[in-house]
Each structure stands twice: as C-alpha cells, then as structure tokens.
Amino acid sequence: MLRCCRPGPEFSGAARGDKPGSCRFSPLRGGTASLFGSDELSSSLIFKFPPNFVRQLRTKARRNCSNIGVAQIVAAKWSNGPAAGSPPLAAAQAAAAASSPADTPVELTAVDDVAVIEGCNSNGSVQKESFLNSDGSITVHAGERLGRGIVTDAITTPVVNTSAYFFKKTAELIDFKEKRHISFEYGRYGNPTTVVAEEKISALEGAESTLIMASGMCASTVMLMALVPAGGHIVTTTDCYRKTRIFIETMLPKMGITATVIDPADMEGLESALNQSNVSLFFTESPTNPFLRCIDIELVSELCHRKGALVCIDGTFATPLNQKALALGADLVLHSATKYIGGHNDVLAGCISGSLELVSQIRNLHHVLGGTLNPNAAYLIIRGMKTLHLRVQQQNSTALRMAEILEAHPKVKHIYYPGLASHPEHHIAKQQMTGFGGVVSFEIDGDLMTTIKFVDALKIPYIAPSFGGCESIVDQPAIMSYWDLSESERLKYGIKDNLVRFSFGVEDFEDVKADVLQALAAI
C-alpha cells in the first residue's frame, strides 16, 4: 500500500534557484513521498512510476545517442485521500513551511517507483506566475512554461507535437552538449513518440538501434550515402524496386560510386565482384520486388564479411515477423514501414535497424538531410504494429492459398511466390522465412488489354501502388511503375504487360477467392 511520509529538508527546493511553480524531478532514497505546499490542498496525490522506469532510464543513458533522450512522459497513479499512517495535513504543511522559504519552487520528487508533486493545487493545476500579467502572455505560457501535468496511466503512447525542446538554464544546455545530461534538443534530431516507435522495431528485429525516417526511399538513400564512401563500390541485384534502381544508376555515379548488378541467385557473380572491386556494401531486397526472389542471407553475409563488405537487406516484403535478417548475418535491415509495419495504408515511413555504431553513422547524415518523421506518423506506426502479427498471419495464409489456386488455374500463365515449390528460391525461403508474405505476382494468359480486363473486373482490391495494408491492392507493374518506358524497355527488367502484383489484405479468404475467380472468368 502506498503511504505518505514525513516531509523533511530533503524535500525542499530551497537554494535551487528556480521560480515558484516549476515542477521538476529529483531522486530520493526511500519508498514514499507526500504532496503538500498549497493552501487549497485537501488530499494527497501520489504518482506511481512503472517498476522498470529506472532501468529504462539507465538503458537510455548508456545508449546516449545524439537524438535519444529520456521520454518525458511517465505513467502516473492518482490516490486521493491520506493513506494510513500519514501525518496530519496541517503538520505536513507546517513542516514544509519551516523547512523552506515562501518562494520554494514546486518540486516533483521521484522516490524509487513513486513520485509526488509539491506546491500544486488540489486539482493538479500549476499556479500562476507573477510575470504572467496579461491575457496574451497567459495564453502563450500558462500551464506549459513552468511545468506540465503528468499523463495519468495512458495506455497509448502520447503524441509529442513539438519542433524544439527547452533547457531550464544555460548550464543544463552545456551539460547536454558535453553529454552529462540526457535530453532532446530539436525536433529533427528526435522526439519521444518517435523513440517509442524505434525501440519497438528494434525489439522486433533484435537490433541495438533503429532509425525511423520519413519514407522507405529516404531510409535507402540516406543509408547508401552514409555508408558508401565517394569512389566506393556496391553490389545489388537485378530485381528490385524501380526507384531504388534509379538512385543507384543515376545519383550514386555523381558521387563516384559504381555498382555491380547480379542475379539474386548468382553467388559466383558476387564472389567475382568482391574479388575484383573494393566493395563497401551489398544491398538488395529479400524477397525482391516484384518477382519475390529470395537471397541466401546467411551465405551472402559470409561471403561479404570475408572481404570487409557490409550487408543490408530490405526486408519490407518479408516483414520482421517472417524473416530475421540480422539473425541470419546481415549488418542492417531496412523496411518501408509504410507497408506491413504501418499496415493501414495511412502513413509514410521508413526504418533501418542494426548495430548502434552503424545506425549512428546513418543518423548523423539523417540529421543533416532532415527526412524527419512527423510524431503523428510515428504514433500511427506504433498503433499499426500492435496488430502486425495478426495481420501478417492472415495475409500469409490467404496469399499461400491463393497462390496455389492461381498456379493451377488455366488462365494464369506463370506465378511468382516463394511459398510454392515451383519458385526458384523456395528452398532458401523455407530455411530463412517462417511465412512467405502477403504478395503474389503472376502473369495472366493474355496481353495488356486482357490483363486490364482482369484487373478491372476485381471488386475487392483497390487499383493502387503500395502493398501490405489491411485492404487488398492490385496493380499492373507495366502501367503502375513502368508506363513511361516502351514495351521493349520494360522487358529488359522482366516486366511483361500481363504481369499482375496482388497484395492480399485481411479480408475473409472465401470472399477474396470468389472475387479473383470471377475476375478470371470474365476474361
């Protein structure tokens, strides 16, 4: 049971120099604390921190990244009325008055897992400061400048919408700059809501650190620029997201960075590139987009590490649930969090996870380039991840069952899905994946117009880019992603006019099955 203890000199804020009404944390030994210091006080209000608060605080201090601070939000538990064994209120107030001058600042004191606030009104409001004389000043600063109320036992992570963070004194700022004080500084460098999203992804990937950015392409491009030196060399694969290929082919050469492009299964080509060039990085997707080729991550990592090359795997199609790239030997794993991680087609984000050393290098460039994720988007990522395992389980199941049906259908010419024995890397997928994902690519037995007729006959999926959300999505890559190229140019990348990419959502399997079959019957 929580109880109040006798206030002593250690509760006093005298000699701290802060103005009355400010609320601050200060550590104390012991297990209890009390609330006092207001003429209107009629009951004790006790705040209870989560049991692991101190551990989390120490963990963050050890990490000490430039943009990782202690989240300024703690759960609180209100307990109204004095607990058994507590001193009378009058005695507590008298002791407080005797131990500190009249202008003693409001003080929030943390005691192990319990904290109390001194000097606030009984309703928890912050007292008005003497320098707030006009309504204009009051509307700007009241309730915020000198201390905010603690969020009381919120289940969901609060969204911290701020572009900057303040320091109480210049000495505190200097301590922060010299790494004696942990805090946030500027919104581009970090945000408490964003940190929660990053730590959730790190836990899922088994990573030391995660950096979350404004989009998957932002994560890819910043990672490449941060880790590959000018004049460096990378190895990538033939099948990959087109915008990634464009960046590698057109932007990196301007920095003197060259690339070797190999087939996802060409390990001899990889060894040759490693022997002939000073390779800094191997970067590809697994499974790839849109043909869902699978890289032997363990073998690739072994070959690259022998030559001192890093390995980064874009695991967006796999999700962190179906594949653990870091555990397989990769140095970094990247995701377009817009897809499965967010999962609701309502947010853009990208993330990259790995060792603290590597992620910090990427983070430093990210701070310069500024592709920052909005804290509201970070909240959507946090919310979306809570159902990730449920969504992926349904999508894995629907996609595999539909792939088997499509493979046997006479109007489907070819199908690409790593869960099928006919897939060229099925044996690799079985070894390193626990599920095969929710995207199936296949070729209709027909031309461009026949395929358009099939897509238009579907009733459930949206015709749209992207994948991995709750809603099913379908598109023809020849039109959606490669329409600016001629048919012959598209064929250089293996993109045929009859290719369909189908991202299965979380709809009922029987409904999706009936819809696909009726659309096939219409052609």
Phi, psi of 293 (to 5 degrees): -70, 150
Residue 461's nearest CA partner among 471, 476, 449, 451 is: 471
**Residue pointed to by tokens 């300024």:** 72
Q: What is the average pLDDT across 75-92?
A: 39
Per-residue buried b or exposed e for 102-115, using 16+ beta carbons within 10 Å of the residue's own CB: eebbbbbbbbbebb
Within 211-266, where are the H helices?
216-227, 242-246
Pick the range with the lowest mean pLDDT from 55-59, 251-255, 449-453: 55-59
Q: What is residue 6's predicted lDDT score, i.e. its pLDDT?
A: 35
Under the banding of pLDDT at 50, 70 and 90, the label for residue 147 is: low
Identify whether 375 is preceded by a cis peptide bond (ω within 30 of 0). Answer: no
For residues 470 and 367, what is the distance between their CA atoms, to the nearest angstrom? 32
Using a cut of 0.95, tell me whether the model's pTM lies above it.
no
Q: What percent of the chain has pLDDT over 90?
A: 70
pLDDT digit string, tens, across residues 175-211: 999 999 999 999 999 999 999 999 999 999 999 999 9
Strand 350-354 vs strand 462-463: parallel, antiparallel, or unpaired? unpaired
Identity of residue 387: T
Q: What is residue 107's predicted lDDT score, i.e. its pLDDT?
A: 40
Q: What is residue 48's predicted lDDT score, i.e. its pLDDT?
A: 46
Q: What is the average pLDDT across 321-332?
A: 98
Strand 258-262 vs strand 499-503: parallel, antiparallel, or unpaired? unpaired
Under the banding of pLDDT at 50, 70 and 90, the label for residue 392 is: very high
Identify whether 88 is preceded by a cis peptide bond (ω within 30 of 0). Answer: no
For residues 274 and 291, what is the distance between their CA atoms, to the nearest angstrom? 25
pLDDT digit string, tens, across residues 376-390: 999 999 999 999 999
- Read out DSSP for 13-77? -TTS-PPTT---EEEESSS-------TT--S--EEE--TTHHHHHHHHHHH--TT----S-----
Q: What is the average pLDDT across 95-102?
A: 43
Residue 118's nearest CA partner among 251, 28, 50 is: 28
Average pLDDT, the chain: 81
Per-residue buried b or exposed e for 437-450, using 16+ beta carbons within 10 Å of the residue's own CB: bbbbbbbbebeeee
Assess contact for 499 and 487: CB atoms under 8 A: no
Cα 430-434-439 angle, rounded to 5 deg: 90
Q: What is residue 57's predicted lDDT score, i.e. its pLDDT?
A: 46
Residue 182's nearest CA partner among 73, 75, 63 is: 63
pLDDT digit string, tens, across residues 108-118: 334 333 333 33
pLDDT digit string, tens, across residues 490-520: 999 999 999 999 999 999 999 999 999 999 9
Whether the per-residue pLDDT at 29 is higher than 50: the answer is no
pLDDT digit string, tens, across residues 400-448: 999 999 999 999 999 999 999 999 999 999 999 999 999 999 999 999 9
For residues 24 and 106, what is the distance between their CA atoms, to the nearest angstrom? 8
pLDDT digit string, tens, across residues 266-278: 999 999 999 999 9
